[in-house]
Structure 1
């Protein structure tokens, strides 16, 4: 499973993509991310998209899914 990171999440992880292990759903992925990169907890929100659709914590993750971690963004 490959997870794409964007914005500050990419900066915190130090890579544009990561490969987590042992995660079956979005909630488990978030906990894995927070354990590996504690600074992610400081963000006011962290959205996960699965196959280009925002996912809730119960969304199962399958090996072929396209997963993206999207931190808060602002624009002007």
Structure 2
């Protein structure tokens, strides 16, 4: 199961028809689509504020940062609420 915050990516991977706008996408995309269609993979939408990978890729508001840290089981010993 893959969690994704991009609805368009989920629809592209799930849709069996090729679109004019997606012709530039390479073999990785087709590999994912085949696995989704076979039922081997399931793509699940995750709201942006709960995307755990964001803590490693972008600056976040303090509240969201601490929410994600707690979901990952990380404690900030210097943070006082």
TM-score by length of 1: 0.24
- Report which structure shows greater RCO (CA 8 Å, sep ≥6): 1
Bigger strand share: 1
